[in-house]
Amino acid sequence: MVNNVKIEIRGLSVSYGLRPALHGISLDIPARGIFAIIGPANSGKSTLLKCVNRTVEFERGARVRGEVRIDGVNVFRSGNVYALRRRIGMVFPLPVGLPLSVYDNVAYAPRMAGLRDRRALDDVVERCLRQAALWEEVKDRLTSLGTLLSGGQQQRLTIARALSHDPEILCLDEFSIAIDPVTTMRIEDVLTQLKSRMTIVLVTNLVQQARRLGDLTCFLNRGEVVQVDRTAMIFSDRPGNQLTYDYTRGIFG
């Protein structure tokens, strides 16, 4: 697949204390489109995402070697970590509504970046809530607490928040494990619409989700890349790797 590369990962190793999480992996993630990452527990999927926006530095005892380059710039050498994080939207497995109003939740990141203009904030809030397919449900109660929304709504609120600083990259870490299948489908539709505009990295435990959404799929196991290929290839009858075949067929182990 010929495409310009957005995220280059080179020889990335991460260990938490003595426990290794990633073993010198290298990956090219193309600009735009959905890059799905599958793999069993402890394969290093979440750690990989945390390296992209450097939140891995908050983990206790985390040691990182290697490079993650976004548009050719090594993130670990980037002087302004806050500017870096604003280029990347992050969504985690469990929805986290901040203890603020729905409006303030979405306006949080722009405000922390210094945006004060009320009109501009209004625009951001409406645009992001629409993008996350939540606007119609909450437009009449923007002032009520974000933490009082249902789980599925909170996860869409989290996505709206992740989109609020207009990121070039959107990382989702098993976003659907705490929400119902209908909401999951709605969010998947949203992702499909967004992928023409941004690079989406989707970590998922549901191989079928990767199959539905991914343009490319990467299979990670025990901190190493087993295979990266077009999604159709990974899920074909002959992916070219026995481990991949077993994992996607659910006969792994």
Q: Which residues bind other proteins (CB under 8 A)?
A: 53, 55, 58, 60, 82-86, 90, 92, 94, 96-100, 108-109, 112-113, 145, 147, 158, 161-162, 164-165
Instruction: Give Cβ neighbours of residue 220 (< 8 Å, ≥ 6 apart).
Output: 25, 37, 38, 39, 43, 44, 45, 48, 226
Closer CB to other proteins, 33 or 97, in the complex: 97
Residue 208, C-beta contacts closer than 8 angstroms, at least 6 positions apart: none
Q: Pick between residue 127 and residue 222 the one whose CB is nearest to other proteins.
A: 127
Nearest approach in angstroms of CB 25 to other proteins is 22
Q: How far is the CB of 55 from other proteins (least distance, A)?
A: 6
Query: Shortest approach of other proteins to residue 67 CB, angstroms?
Result: 21
Give the ranges where the chain is alpha helix by DSSP (H): 45-52, 81-86, 102-112, 118-131, 135-138, 151-163, 181-194, 207-213, 231-234, 242-248
Least separation in angstroms between residue 208's CB and other proteins is 27
Q: Between residues 31 and 84, which has the closer beta carbon with respect to other proteins?
A: 84
Q: 84 or 206: whose CB is closer to other proteins? A: 84
Tokens of 171: 């990382």
